[in-house]
């Protein structure tokens, strides 16, 4: 067991308690002010000087005291916001904020980064340079809160940045990483269909926006197959279809909303062009009209190869070499990539799943984690940043 692991075990109970607190009191994007207050309180108790960034976010620096001339600033990022999901876990830490839930593990991310702060403040003599803690608000809505953190100067003079995600689809004790593509770009689209309202007894006198919308949704899988390189990953998903208010009235309007996930701009552009053609063709076939609007999200997460190797070595030191897995990219998006547009960055996945209770995916109302992952994530991040500073 490394010295870092011993320190982490000393603080494990408090890290778990913090995670449960944040699970109980989730807050919407850019409104995480109670979360911010709690984070500042804990960092101040460690002798740090936290400041606000991007409104509800927090930044704090830990200065190493190891002799040497290192001027590196290594940043660690945790996201803070919750999701608009009703919490259905049957545990005392179930959300007390109705309709909001940490269904993506951000409660654990906050607790882990606070745990890292505890460990690193106790071992300043083991590393040089500066470790910058970034608690980022507003991760979920596009384009994400990272830009606000950047605009407040949090990346100034930073050498590299590391982030992590707890994943219930990885078993607890595992670490997933890549030396390149890690997470996809996630964009949104809205299709507004316009027809002509009428009575269901005389469909020939109406133009059903619902019929056109249903045909669009059914045909969407063809877009990726017809218009993109089959060797390039892409996913088109519909999350919402709204039309009509009465069972006997043919609706004049319908709205479709969904996402497009890709790894390169050419594929993204091909999909959106194909989506436009498909929607207009299917609507035109029944004399309906449509408008297609798109909202571009953050770029794909592409890990820096050099620092990915640092994270993998740290994971092997803490979890064992057999626990470290180089994994294929996933189609989930994250605005961590916004930081990577400016400096080298690495996103890693910490396994948090088990077969007893942590089996539900992110965004599920019963999403939960194996809390042993908090200790492991804290150890891996602390080991990673010390290795990055001393390399």
Is 11 part of any known ligand binding site?
A: no
> First CA to last CA across the chain, in angstroms?
21
Residue matched to tokens 């605009």? 151
- Rounded Cα gap, residues 102 and 115, in angstroms: 18
CB atoms within 10 A of CB 73: 20
For 2, 22, 71, 164, 365, the CA distances from 347, given in Å and listed in that order, are 23, 22, 23, 5, 25
65 φ, ψ (degrees, to nearest 5): -120, 15
CB atoms within 10 A of CB 36: 21
Six-digit token string for 55 = 């409104």
Contact 256, 237 (CB under 8 A): no
DSSP notation for 256-292:
EEEEEEESSHHHHHHHHHHHHHHHHHHHHHTT-EEEE
- Rounded Cα gap, residues 80 and 68, in angstroms: 34
205 φ, ψ (degrees, to nearest 5): -95, 5
Asked, as a colleague might, if the bond just before 344 is cis with ω within 30 of 0, I would say no
Question: Computed from CA positions of residues 58, 302, 126, 322, in that sequence, does the dihedral angle turn out positive or negative?
Answer: positive
Six-digit token string for 377 = 């994530």
- Rounded Cα gap, residues 118 and 18, in angstroms: 13
- Rounded Cα gap, residues 48 and 70, in angstroms: 20
- Rounded Cα gap, residues 155 and 73, in angstroms: 9
Strand blocks (E) in 121-223: 130-136, 160-171, 175-177, 181-183, 185-194, 198-199
Is 140 part of any known ligand binding site?
A: yes
Where is the binding site for Mn(2+), in residues?
106, 140, 165
Where is the binding site, in residues?
106, 140, 165
């Amino acid at each position: 067991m490394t010295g870092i692991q011993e320190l982490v075990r000393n603080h494990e109970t408090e890290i778990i308690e913090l995670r449960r607190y944040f699970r109980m009191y989730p807050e919407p994007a850019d409104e995480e002010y109670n979360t911010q207050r709690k984070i500042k309180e804990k960092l101040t108790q460690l002798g740090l000087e936290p400041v606000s960034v991007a409104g509800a976010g927090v930044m704090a620096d830990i200065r190493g005291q190891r002799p040497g001339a290192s001027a590196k600033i290594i940043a660690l990022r945790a996201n803070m916001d919750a999701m608009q999901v009703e919490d259905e876990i049957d545990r005392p830490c179930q959300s007390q904020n109705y309709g909001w839930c940490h269904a993506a593990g951000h409660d654990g991310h906050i607790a882990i980064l606070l745990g890292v702060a505890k460990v690193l403040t106790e071992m300043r003599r083991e590393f040089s340079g500066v470790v910058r803690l970034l608690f980022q608000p507003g991760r979920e809505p596009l384009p994400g809160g990272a830009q606000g953190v950047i605009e407040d100067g949090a990346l100034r003079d930073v050498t590299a940045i590391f982030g992590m995600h707890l994943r219930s689809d990885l078993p607890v004790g595992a670490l997933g990483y890549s030396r390149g593509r890690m997470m996809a770009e996630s964009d949104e689209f809205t299709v507004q269909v316009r027809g002509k309202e009428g009575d269901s007894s005389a469909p020939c006198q109406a133009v059903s926006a619902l019929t056109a919308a249903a045909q669009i949704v059914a045909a969407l899988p063809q877009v990726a197959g017809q218009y993109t390189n089959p060797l390039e990953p892409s996913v088109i998903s519909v999350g919402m279809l709204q039309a009509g208010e009465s069972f006997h009235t043919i609706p004049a309007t319908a709205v479709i909303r969904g996402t497009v996930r890709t790894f390169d701009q050419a594929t993204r552009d091909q999909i959106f062009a194909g989506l436009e053609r498909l929607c207009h063709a299917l609507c035109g076939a029944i004399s309906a009209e449509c408008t297609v609007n798109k909202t571009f999200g953050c770029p794909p997460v592409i890990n820096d190869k050099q620092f990915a190797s640092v994270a993998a070595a740290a994971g092997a030191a803490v979890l064992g070499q057999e626990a470290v897995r180089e994994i294929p990219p996933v189609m989930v998006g994250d605005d961590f990539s916004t930081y990577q547009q400016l400096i080298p960055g690495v996103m890693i996945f910490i396994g948090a799943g088990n077969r007893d209770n942590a089996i539900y995916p992110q965004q599920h109302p019963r999403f939960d984690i194996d809390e042993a992952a908090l200790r492991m994530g804290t150890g891996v991040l602390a080991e990673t940043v010390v290795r990055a500073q001393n390399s």
